Amino acid sequence: MVYAPKLLLMNDLDLARNFCNKHEPMAPERIHQLLNDVVAYCAENGISQAEFARRLGIQRSQLHDWIKGRREPTGERVLAIIEELRKKPRKKKS
């Protein structure tokens, strides 16, 4: 199944780059939608959130905190999440 995230319009990618490079604010609802896209992407493609976190180079607990709204990802991490979501889905190797 091909996953089509809601956030990944070109202007959202540009906003994420600005958030990362220029420290311009990114609306909390866009970050929340991005993290909802991560949850959906993982579920629809049969990968764990731990595997998704590994692909980002972070701990699963950090991703979980973002998803639960306890913390927000940095601009660099927002950009990494978008870039990972744009990649062709691949399942974790057994």
What percentage of the chain carries pLDDT values higher than 90? Answer: 40
Compute the distance between CA of residue 54 and CA of residue 57 in angstroms, rounded to an integer.
Answer: 5
Tokens 């420290």 locate to: 23
Give me the sign of the Cα torsion angle 65, 80, 24, 38. Answer: negative
Q: Per-residue pLDDT tens for 9-52?
A: 445 666 666 666 655 667 788 888 889 999 999 999 999 999 99
CATH architecture entry for 10-86: Orthogonal Bundle (1.10)
Tell me the pTM. 0.74
Collapsed DSSP state (helix, strand, coil) of residue 59: coil
